[in-house]
Structure 1
Amino acid sequence: MERIKVVTDSTSDIPKGLAEELDIKVVPLTVHFGDKSYKDWYDITSAEFFYKLENSDIMPTTSQVTPIAFEEAFNEALQDYDSIICITLSSKASGTYQSAVIAQNSLEDADIEVIDSMAFSFGYGMIVIEAAKMAKADRDKQEIVDYIHNSLKRLETYFIVDTLEYLKKGGRINLATAVIGNILSIKPVLGVRDGLVVPIDKVRGSKKVIPKMIELIRANGYDASDKMICLAHGAIPEKIEEVKEAIAREIHPKGFMITEVGSVIGAHAGPGIVGIFTIKD
């Protein structure tokens, strides 16, 4: 039976303990506060990061995974596994995918599949988790790869942030969207289209945001009764519990998976981030 190793990067925001349990190799990006650098999910927790973010005058920056880091991870995995499936964050937002491809090409005799998720955070993290479960169950590699591609096509992402400043400064949304939102107190509901963050709806006032997100999830008669809904948050457990309870009342999903947003996603989204991820029918 072919032994398959699942590899991803840290912006998948998979809880560290779960990644270890499922034998997922997570290669970290890096967040920088001035002259101090931290490996995402390894050197700094979500709570520590958001505390620093809100209490520091320094705007954090981030850096992608290098080809060398991926090559080292691939070589290590190939000591015990026959093949590798690597899923990365969107190539439209980071050079991390390209780094993985460079590492793949440097190991041309190895069986390595690199997949561009065109997604962010737990949106593709939850798909990585299912892929790892399939690998542990000795499922065929092509079956796992097909599952990943099919799930990514049907992935829906909705998220909100307290302020659009971080997304604007990081170049993740355009200036006009940020200015309108800040001036008019309009709260945009953001999503991901073609690998980029885009506004997909808007409401006036923060109290209407969660109902709007639920409305979007329910669009087109979506039935969540046999599905998990995945949530991510920026170290705000009370807020995510409120979101969970609202979704449970209105949509009645099979269950929830909840994670925190790591430092790299947090550096671009800013405080108060809440994300909802679903796989549509």
Structure 2
Amino acid sequence: MNIKILADSASDLSKDHYNEFDIEMVSLTVHLDEKDYEDGQTIYPKTVYDAMRNGKAPKTSQVSPQTFKSVFTSYAESNQPLIYLAFSSELSGTYQTAKMMEQEVKEEYPDAPIHVIDTKCASIGYGLVVLEAAKMAKAGKSVDEIIDDATRRAAHMEHIFTVDDLEYLYRGGRVSKTAAFVGTLLKIKPILHVESGKLIPLEKIRGSKKLFGRMLELMEERGGNWENQTIGISHGDDLDRAQQLADMIKERFGINQIEIEMVGSAIGAHSGPGTIALFFLNKSF
């Protein structure tokens, strides 16, 4: 029986990806103008970014317990293996909710072949892990093989990103008010990364011109084996700069396999317009 891969909307994959690789998706919730929307289903990133540019502060919440219970129950009843690769547990309660619902469903269906994995990844870094798992499922690999590869791949996925305005990270509790104010005043661009699933500030760069050069230096220091991997770039409604970074990567490393996607509504509500994020497997993969 085919193994089904489940992802959530924080993977920032497009509908084309979900359709091509037969991936199932559940949505985080975005709260905007006193209404609730399903990320990637009833609200799209452009709407969120335009609202933020106009001074609005959208909020987000995790995938609902009922959504997970419904999905898990349907796979338990049909006895079809399901692997849910989840958005980082350090950035959302979605993984914990999924684990609770997995236990609940397994009380009724003890042998249900449902597996819930915390990727500790976000955006297209998470999406690349999901895509590889879906390719393996299509190729007929076993549950254990898929879980082993996804777990290892996720642990070695580098996230190097920058935001256009520190104010958005301040609202999300990621930087202090003073740091946001001073950073904006001095035109300081932060470079951040994800370590054990958490957002960690890495460096501060003065002025945006040096930014991409430094991101490429970090890529060279941390990554390798370029011909055997796909690089991910996601952006906060700034395709031109994402494409510029992709061109620089192609020129410097001779890489052709690059996935460019917009940062989705749920993550974008915290990172803001103008975010540029780079994802690749590190040297120890």
TM tier relative to shorter chain: over 0.9
**Contact 1:188–1:202 (Cα < 8 Å) also in 2:** yes
Q: Which residue of 2 aligns with 1:50?
A: 49
Distance (whole Å) between structure 1 residues aligned to residue 174 and residue 91 of structure 2? 8
Superposed, 1:81-160 pairs within 5 Å as: 82-108=80-106, 109=110, 110-160=112-162
Q: CA, structure 1 residues 220+122, in 2 after alignment: closer, same or farther (shift >3 Å)?
A: closer
Shift of 1:185: 2.1
After superposition, the C-alpha distances for 1:222-266 in whole angstroms (9 at most, x for unaligned) are 342332211111222211111111111112124111111111110
Superposed, 1:1-281 pairs within 5 Å as: 2-55=1-54, 57-78=55-76, 82-108=80-106, 109=110, 110-175=112-177, 177-219=179-221, 222-281=224-283
After superposition, the C-alpha distances for 1:141-173 in whole angstroms (9 at most, x for unaligned) are 100000011101111001111111111111234
Letter in 2 for 1:74: F
Q: CA, structure 1 residues 86+241, in 2 after alignment: closer, same or farther (shift >3 Å)?
A: same
Letter in 2 for 1:21: E
Distance (whole Å) between structure 1 residues aligned to residue 182 and residue 87 of structure 2? 28
Distance (whole Å) between structure 2 residues aligned to residue 260 and residue 254 of structure 1? 19
Letter in 1 for 2:44: T
After superposition, the CA RMSD in angstroms is 1.7
**Contact 2:231–2:279 (Cα < 8 Å) also in 1:** yes
Which ranges of structure 2 fall in alignment gaps of 5 or more residues? none
**Contact 1:3–1:81 (Cα < 8 Å) also in 2:** no
Distance (whole Å) between structure 2 residues aligned to residue 77 and residue 136 of structure 1? 18
Shift of 1:45: 2.0
Distance (whole Å) between structure 1 residues aligned to residue 270 and residue 254 of structure 2? 31
**Contact 2:5–2:84 (Cα < 8 Å) also in 1:** yes
Identity of aligned residues (%): 38
Letter in 1 for 2:69: E
Which ranges of structure 1 fall in alignment gaps of 5 or more residues? none
**Contact 1:173–1:197 (Cα < 8 Å) also in 2:** no
Shift of 1:102: 1.0
Shift of 1:221: 6.8
1:219 is paired with a residue of what secondary structure? Answer: helix
Distance (whole Å) between structure 2 residues aligned to residue 193 and residue 10 of structure 1? 21
Distance (whole Å) between structure 2 residues aligned to residue 187 and residue 149 of structure 1? 32
Letter in 2 for 1:246: M
Distance (whole Å) between structure 1 residues aligned to residue 222 and residue 18 of structure 2? 33
Letter in 2 for 1:203: I
Distance (whole Å) between structure 1 residues aligned to residue 86 and residue 259 of structure 2? 20
Q: CA, structure 1 residues 62+102, in 2 after alignment: closer, same or farther (shift >3 Å)?
A: same
> What is the TM-score when the length of structure 2 is the normalising length?
0.92
Q: CA, structure 1 residues 224+114, in 2 after alignment: closer, same or farther (shift >3 Å)?
A: same
Shift of 1:125: 0.9
> What is the TM-score when the length of structure 1 is the normalising length?
0.94
Q: CA, structure 1 residues 221+25, in 2 after alignment: closer, same or farther (shift >3 Å)?
A: closer
2:67 is paired with a residue of what secondary structure? Answer: helix
